[in-house]
């Protein structure tokens, strides 16, 4: 088995959902998707993220300290909105789950394997 990150992406150029009803339907679909992941034994962890405006970045400094700045790490119109960590047999299985996740949340989902240990 291999672990994969399924990362949900959003964009400042487009609202995630046109109406509150669409958003509530997506939340229900994601809950059902999460239940399917758990039932299949593929679930490791998942979470939705607060808006990018709530992000902060911590950077090390040469003197061993750190600095903290407000805002996301990348200044971009695209941003990470949530994620799943799954444990599945191979890339094909990860892509199948990503397709189901993208359909459930109505957003693009990036598939990325974890490094092997």
Per-residue pLDDT reduced to its tens digit, 25-58: 999 999 999 999 999 999 999 998 888 888 899 9
pLDDT tens-digit map of 64-79? 999 999 877 777 777 8
Q: Could you tell me the CATH number of the domain that includes residue 47?
A: 3.30.70.1060
Tokens describing residue 111: 């598939």
Give the whole-angstrom CA distance, residue 82 versus residue 108. 11
**What band does 115 get if pLDDT is binned at 50, 70 and 90?**
very high
Q: What are phi and psi of 52, to 5 degrees?
A: -60, -25
**Helix pair angle (91-105, 20-40), 10° resolution:** 150
Range of the domain at 29: 2-113
b/e burial code for range 71-103 (CB count within 10 A of at least 16 → b): ebeeeeeebbbbbbbbbbeeeebbeebbebbbe
Indicate the number of domains in the chain: 1
């Amino acid at each position: 088995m291999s672990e994969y990150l399924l990362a949900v992406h959003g964009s400042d150029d487009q609202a995630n959902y046109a109406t509150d009803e669409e958003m509530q339907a997506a939340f229900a679909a994601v809950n059902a998707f999460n239940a399917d992941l758990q039932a299949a034994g593929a679930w490791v962890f998942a979470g939705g993220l607060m808006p990018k405006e709530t992000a902060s970045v911590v950077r090390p400094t040469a003197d061993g300290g750190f600095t903290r700045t407000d805002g996301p790490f990348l200044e971009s119109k695209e941003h990470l909105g949530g994620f799943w960590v799954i444990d599945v047999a191979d890339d094909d299985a990860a892509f199948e789950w990503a397709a189901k996740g993208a359909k459930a949340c109505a957003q693009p989902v990036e598939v990325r394997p974890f490094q092997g240990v």
